[in-house]
Structure 1
Amino acid sequence: MSSHSSLLVTRLQDVLFLTLNCPATRNALAPELVAELAQAIASVQGDAQLRAIVLRGSQGFFCAGGNIGSFQARLDQSPQADADALASDPVAARNRAFGRFLEQLAALPVPLIAAVEGAAMGGGMGLACTADIVLATHGAKFALTETALGIIPAQIAPFVDARIGRRNTLRLGLFGERVSGDQAQALGLVDELAADSAALDALLAQWLTRMARCAPGANQALKRLFAADAAPALAARLDHAALAFAQCMRHEGAEGIAAFREKRPAAWQAEFSAQDIRQTHTPPAAPASSRLPSLQTAP
């Protein structure tokens, strides 16, 4: 096993295990962690012996999503005057850089497996959705948390969409719903569930054993076949998403990030009660003076 500052890297029988290892931030996707992941992926490009890659989080937590501290740093940077809006805006450029990393993951020529326990939030959920197989514990949690911060799941949305479909992606994104491992399996996000971490190890071993019955070259050829079809349209979609992300970040995102850091509700947050809802479909009572007298029959 080799250890980087944020990543544990192990190779076992030509399977590469990449374990996010930033427990203080619950494995949030800080730029340093993403860079180490990208470097680990680049180091095995062209490796004909590689059989699969496994993504996991250390200490029972998959990934808390984007690092809020790095979001604030990006807000402090102003766009430059340039004809290329994507390249000149540091917020859009950094967002798009993460998308390119996700494209690399999705286009890997070997099976990619995500083993999720704890939670996969925001970008962490997007990370899982680039995988060919997602295994999780019953107690795992998944959510698209971006809109609660006033931003959007820009670079991960196409991968979530490909995994669970447009309707379910909008459901999670528009309502910020947190779903359990069982609910995620019903949505098609998770392929198979395990009771706990030890059972997840056993389940992962079963899937890797199945994979190892398949010829490595044939698996690589199959992955490349599908990746080639999707690449051009995906790149254009992610370019557009990066610009939309930057616009959101500089408007509602500034308030959402400030509210998160100050541990207070964002300005747009509201609560509804059952009584509020009841009033929307209950006709108001007529004033006493306008009520019709009751009819009486003659004796």
Structure 2
Amino acid sequence: MKKYWLLGSAITVVSGLTAFGVETVQLGKSDLTKGIPGAGPLSISQIKAFLDNPQNHQTLAVELPENLRPGSSAVYVPEDNPLTRAKVELGRQLYFDKRLSADATVSCADCHHPATGFGANTQFGVGIKGQMGNRNSPVSFNRILSKAQFWDGRAGTLEAQAVGPIANPIEMGNTHEAAVKFITMNAGYKAEFDKVFGRAPNIDDVGRAIAAFERTIVTGPSAYDLYEPVRQMLAAFPEELSDLESLKKDDPQLFAKFTQAKAASDKMPMSDSAKRGRDLFFSSKTNCTACHVGVNFTDELYHNLGVGMD
């Protein structure tokens, strides 16, 4: 099982500087998505105090957590939608708000919930009035590493994907116009849109805010991530690592590197069966890595597997 972190990455955002400057953050740190400080329902005064803090409007240059860092070149943040703390917070609120649906019963999080790996534990997505979709809900994590979205890539950006379910009759069953009207009539949301985007709420900015939040959802290290450095060192230095006492004297740097990696792996051990599965996965016998490559284990392409399109 992977841990799911809200925020982290290792490349600079592809956007210009804002009037507030630039801040470098590591995705996976909870302070970016912990919400506006306070207990109970948000008050307009709490929202305005948050919005009045210049730090919350700085453009964020992001770094991936260590387990995803080799995939940094794939990080994508559109030039017209730079990340800021205020935008991420607005997107977080919208992501969990059931009132964006026609009957106020379904939010983005209902099909992409943190408790179920930012996906759903049902075969198909379940929308308003218990309606069933015809596909499993895709996960929301590590979306910062791709452009096209949905199982068929029909949404060219995360921004386009984010607003699709709102108007889908099976999912949230609303209209974009009705969703924007609700947001406009909400004093808190209106204040946030005014400050974050400098204009009245509209469906494109709804998509930008939700996409900004979703780009902060990244996976933390799994047992595999922690085991792999140990395996690689054992394969590269079998003789040296067979006698740690001698290694400590002969090569203290390698000794320290190995013992540190081993200690981390031992805290989240990979089972023997998982290790055998890992060997099969990367073998020519299965050829899984023909499609499942990189830190996100996908080539982000769409393959004809000879199954039905429905």
Question: Relative contact order (alpha carbons < 8 A, sep ≥ 6): 1 or 2 greater?
Answer: 2
**More strand by proportion, 1 or 2?**
1
The TM-score normalised by the length of structure 1 is: 0.25
**More helix by proportion, 1 or 2?**
1
